[in-house]
Amino acid sequence: MNNFLTKRDLMAQGFIGFTTISELQRNIPRSEELSQRGVYAVVCSSTYKPSFIGPDEVRRNRSVIMPWSLERLKKKWVPGVEVLYLGKASGSGAEKHTLRKRLTELVRHSMGKITTHGPHKGGELLWQLRGYNDFEVGFLPTDQPEKEEERLIGLFLSNTGKLPFANRIPLPRYIEPY
């Protein structure tokens, strides 16, 4: 059974376009796939050792709206996995979020271009990890991003007992205390 814990697992399920955060900060690709709805994942290398950035430092960097304490971050860390965050680009009509739009928001947030509402509040715990510029983002276009995100998070939870590190809000059918 595929665990969805590594970049390789995600690629086996059709995730494509893995690009580092630092590359995305310079340029979001103009691929056709990014103009669609879908899911995306942020992964670290298999050799990454977490080093957390405390609340005072991230406030100075302006990249985290609601920083967590070092103790809370350590408790939230999921050892032995590469998948740090799972997100979706969904909606319809005027509220449609394409993968390009969500990745642009994610990258803007990493660079401290935020308001009290984001632009990408989900996943902001990523910016409390040293070396996040080397993390990679891959994506999977799908017409059902809500269902796919729920499926992936459910598989992650069933394998680890926790949400991915930077996923803070559990989906309705999953509850995890912090």
Q: How confident is the model at residue 63 (pLDDT cuts 50, 70, 90)?
A: low
Q: How confident is the model at residue 120 (pLDDT cuts 50, 70, 90)?
A: low
pLDDT for position 177:
47
168 in Cβ contact with 128 (< 8 Å): no
Residue 94: which pLDDT band, with cuts at 50, 70 and 90?
A: low
pLDDT top residue among 62 and 56: 56
Sign, CA dihedral 63-64-70-73, equals negative
pLDDT band at 66 (very low <50, low <70, confident <90, very high): confident
121 pLDDT tier (thresholds 50, 70, 90): low
Average pLDDT, the chain: 85
Amino acid at 67: P
Cβ burial, residue 83 (10 Å; 0-12/13-18/19+): buried
Q: Is the pLDDT of residue 178 over 50?
A: no
For the sheet containing 136-141, what is the strand order?
A: 16-20, 136-141, 38-43, 83-89
For residues 18 and 136, give the distance between their C-alpha atoms in angstroms, rounded to a whole number.
6
Task: Give the single-character DSSP code of 16.
Answer: E
Judged by average pLDDT, the poorest of 30-39, 88-97, 120-129, 149-158 is 88-97
Residue 60 has pLDDT above 90, yes or no: no
Question: What pLDDT shows up at residue 143?
Answer: 93
Q: What is the pLDDT of residue 124?
A: 81
d(CA 116, CA 76): 23
Q: Which residues contact 151 (CB under 8 A, 6 or more apart)?
A: none
